Structure 1
Amino acid sequence: MKDTQKSTFIKSLAFNIIPVQIFLFVFWFKNGFIDKVCGVLLGFISPETAYQGDTWVGWKTYIVGTWDKSAVGHLFISPTFDFMFPILIILQCIPFLLIIRSVIAGEFMQGKERVWLLRAGIASLLVTSCMAFTQTITGASDGQYLWQFLGFGMVALMYIRNENGK
């Protein structure tokens, strides 16, 4: 690439939106795919070498253990773990998959409408809301950071909509 082409390309990048893409991707990639999918799969494939906290049993012990500290959680939410945990894993993977789609669509460029990024933000807000609900109703300590992340998600959606001109 010639120097003028490089500077034109750099000028066409949407530096105002790339940090949102990076943050949402990294957060859900780490919390959804790495922690849940890879941890659970590694626990099934090689239980003797897997980090026990990230295996199915490890997550069940941690999550149900926090839910069981509350009578409401113990009675209504803890019994649903084996059904709800796979759904949570899928939900946590959706935002980072939508960010990948956003990047493939070139939504990091100036003048592009950020349809996939907006969908990733909505998915992130949905997942965070579900998690914040269960953690708050059971009094779990994770509820605090989830409420903060929920606030970030709402601001991010407003920012993305503003960048889209809507």
Structure 2
Amino acid sequence: MNNTNNTNFLKSLAFQVIPLQIFLFVFWFKNGFIDKVCGVLLGIITPETAYHGDTWQGWKEYIVGTWDKSAVGHTFISPTFDFMFPILIVLQCVPFILILRSVFAGEFMQEKQRPWLLRAGIASLFVTACMAFTQTITGASDGQYLWQFIGFSMVAIMYIRNENGK
């Protein structure tokens, strides 16, 4: 009897969307929460032991240093760092929060609509597009992987919409 229940449970899982949930969660959890939130907080709480690259000042040196290689970036984008970086941190945390909501809603099961997963895909596309804009306009090398991730996010959205039957 127990073996039958396990088999039925496995058959009810939507293996076609679980890898997408895992990838989006891990990518944004690492790049948003771990790198930005934890890094900045550790830099505030224990500045002497925190990894400098993940602190506020470390991110500022890296990002503004990249933007400053371009006259456009230096003039128009670099001065906005202290205002825009907290917004970026929040935006980078949204996709993994939406994935958590997707998991709690059971969207990893067959025959379920996946509105939270779709929202996570859209949030991922939006955040990546914002980042790609600044990196592309300043000629930064990060722009290349961001354009690839925009493509991934677009395919993910189409895939989720297809899975939802829309």
**1:107 is aligned to 2:107:** yes
Following superposition of structure 1 onto structure 2, how do residues 1-166 of structure 1 map, counting pairs within 5 Å? 2-166=2-166
Give the letter aligned to residue 139 of structure 1.
G
- Displacement after TM superposition at 1:150 (Å): 0.3
Give the letter aligned to residue 83 of structure 1.
F
Q: Deviations over 1:17-56 (max 9, x none)?
A: 0011000000000000000000000000000000000000
The TM-score with structure 2 as length reference comes to 0.99
C-alpha separation in 2, matches of 1:2 and 1:51: 49
C-alpha separation in 2, matches of 1:85 and 1:114: 30
Structure 2: unaligned runs, 5 residues or longer: none
Q: Percent identity of the aligned residues? A: 83
Give the letter aligned to residue 100 of structure 2.
I
- Displacement after TM superposition at 1:63 (Å): 0.1
- Displacement after TM superposition at 1:14 (Å): 0.1
Q: Deviations over 1:105-130 (max 9, x none)?
A: 00000000000000000000000000
- Displacement after TM superposition at 1:136 (Å): 0.2
Q: How many residue pairs end up in the alignment?
A: 166
- Displacement after TM superposition at 1:82 (Å): 0.1
